[in-house]
Structure 1
Amino acid sequence: MESPYLCPSCGTNRTRFNLIQQVAQSVKKDPHTGEITATIAEDDPLHIPYTGEAYRVQCAVCGLIEAEERFIKTAQRGLQI
């Protein structure tokens, strides 16, 4: 989070962003009603735990939501020009 960002979509925003935390909740649902019937423990051998990003970044100017790495790489390319 300490790296400069540049929006890869609008290409002008370097200062205004929203950091969106992703918190996974493992659940078991009823296949007919869609009702959550149980929460699943992290050590359940039949359930693959979430391994995605802890958060995503949203440009507060144009609304694009992407992985933080994309905003950082765009800023690095923008500084080299």
Structure 2
Amino acid sequence: MTQPYLCPTCKSNRMRFTIIEQTPHYVRLNPQTGEVVTEVAQEQLDAFHQPYKGDSFLVQCGICGTTESEERFVKMAQHMQNQK
């Protein structure tokens, strides 16, 4: 988060953003009730439970609400800087 951002949707916001941390919680559910039966640590996942491979955080534009990966906001800022 040390690079400039520019919203790829509204293309005007360079200052107001929300950083959304994504923390995966691995669980096993009761198939009939949907209740959590067990919480599982990532190190204890079995071969049939894939670990989360997504972004550790997302960025949301504070003006229009667009939520994307940080890379989209950084690339848009770089693109607009190169056009000047």
Give the TM-score band, short-chain normalised.
over 0.9
Within a 5 Å distance, the mapping from 1:13-52 to structure 2 comes to 13-43=13-43, 44-46=45-47, 47-52=49-54
**Sequence identity of aligned pairs in percent?**
44
Cα drift, residue 41 of structure 1: 2.5
Task: Give matches, 1:2-81, under 5 Å.
Answer: 2-43=2-43, 44-46=45-47, 47-81=49-83
After superposing on structure 2, the runs of 4+ consecutive aligned residues of structure 1 that deviate more than 6 Å are none
Question: What is the number of residues matched between the two proteins?
Answer: 81
Q: For residue 45 of structure 1, report the CA deviation from its aligned partner.
A: 2.6
Unaligned runs of 5+ in 2: none
Give the aligned CA root-mean-square deviation in angstroms. Answer: 0.9
Query: Which secondary structure state, in structure 1, belongs to the residue aligned with residue 6 of structure 2?
Result: coil
